[in-house]
Structure 1
Amino acid sequence: MTTGRVLRGGALCAALLPGWASAQTMITPEAFLDAAVGKTLTFYEIRSGGLVGTEQFLNRRMSVWREEGQGCVYGQITTPNGQLCFLYDNDPDGIPVCWWPFLHEGRLMVRLASFVDSEIQEVRSMTDRGLDCPNAPLS
């Protein structure tokens, strides 16, 4: 088993936004992807603190998502209107799930881009380790 480097707090924010401040700062999907591509990020729900899942960013157009105890699901990434959107292979309605990435008090967060649900997730780790998912698409 290989151990990846983990970026936390200030190091993660500095990688995303040089000169970052502790206040909430929206970041572009492109800046988020600049930091995330080739990495695996772990997401936690901010209110409960519970693990939501882990996502490996294979490239700027494709990721693989895995919830705890479940299999891998591949997703297509798009960035319309300042949002970071994912359309996963197992999504029955064909509608992407979109997020607004931002920094808050030195922590990387994503907020669901929906006015109905204000779910916020925190990225607690960013590593070089992959998810070891079978049949990873090549492009």
Structure 2
Amino acid sequence: MRTVLLALLLATQACPAPAQEALKGSAFEALVQGRTLTYGAKGQPPRGYERYYSDRRVTWAEPDGTCMEGRWYPKGPQICFSYDGEPDPFCFLYYHDGDSILSTNPDGSEPETSTDAPLDVANFGCAWLGV
């Protein structure tokens, strides 16, 4: 009997928890509106910063000073970004994880962690929308 109970206990611990559901548009909006987030893989320099405004407007800033204005919108389980001057949207899956927001490409590659950007992010030269 003990062997059966031990086997059941070990089996339940070995199985991963059900996959977390991607954030829907309204939940994503509630988390990001009014914030500036740093995007990058853990342990790597930031890939960029995104400022989120009302009406789903955004400004993307790269560390080299490149800035793009655009909008985000939900598309199924994905959150997509359409930037001025870019022919195609960029779509990601987002997950809430404590103080961070995790994002991945829809194929599961390139996971990134997003946290609040440092206060000196304005040094990247963007004329932030709404400021």
TM score, norm. by length of structure 2: 0.68
Give 2:41's aligned residue. Answer: 45
Residue 83 of structure 1, CA deviation? 1.0
Matched, 1:81 2:88: no
* Residue of structure 1 equivalent to 2:57: 62
Q: Does 1:136 align with 2:129?
A: yes
Q: Do the aligned partners of 1:39 and 1:130 also contact (CA within 8 Å) in 2?
A: no
1:50-96 deviation digits (Å, cap 9, x = unpaired): 311110001242100001022321012111102110011131xx211
Task: Answer yes or no: is the 8 Å Cα contact 2:104–2:110 preserved in 1.
Answer: yes
Task: Judge conservation of contact 1:23–1:103 (CA < 8 Å) in 2.
Answer: no
Structure 2 gap segments, 5+ residues each: 1-16
**Identity fraction in percent:** 21
Which structure: greater helix fraction? 2
Please say if residues 82 and 90 of structure 2, whose CA atoms lie closer than 8 Å, have aligned partners that are also in contact. yes
Structure with higher RCO (Cα < 8 A, 6+ apart): 1
For 2:119 and 2:63, locate their aligned partners in 1 and report how far apart those are by CA, in whole Å. Answer: 19
Paired residue for 2:102? 109
- Cα displacement string for residues 89-110 of structure 1 (whole angstroms, at most 9, x for unaligned residues): 131xx21100110135764201
What CA RMSD, in Å, does the superposition of the two structures yield over aligned residues? 3.1
TM-score by length of 1: 0.65
The alpha-carbon distance between structure 1 residues 135 and 107, as it changes in their structure 2 partners (threshold 3 A), is closer
Cα contact 2:39–2:113 (8 A) shared by 1: yes
Structure 1, gaps ≥5 residues long:
1-21
Structure 1 residue 33 corresponds to structure 2 residue 35: no
2:114 counterpart of 1:118: no
Secondary structure of 2:129's counterpart equals: coil
1:99 counterpart residue number = 92
* Alpha-carbon distance between aligned partners in 1 of 2:52 and 2:104, rounded to the nearest angstrom: 18
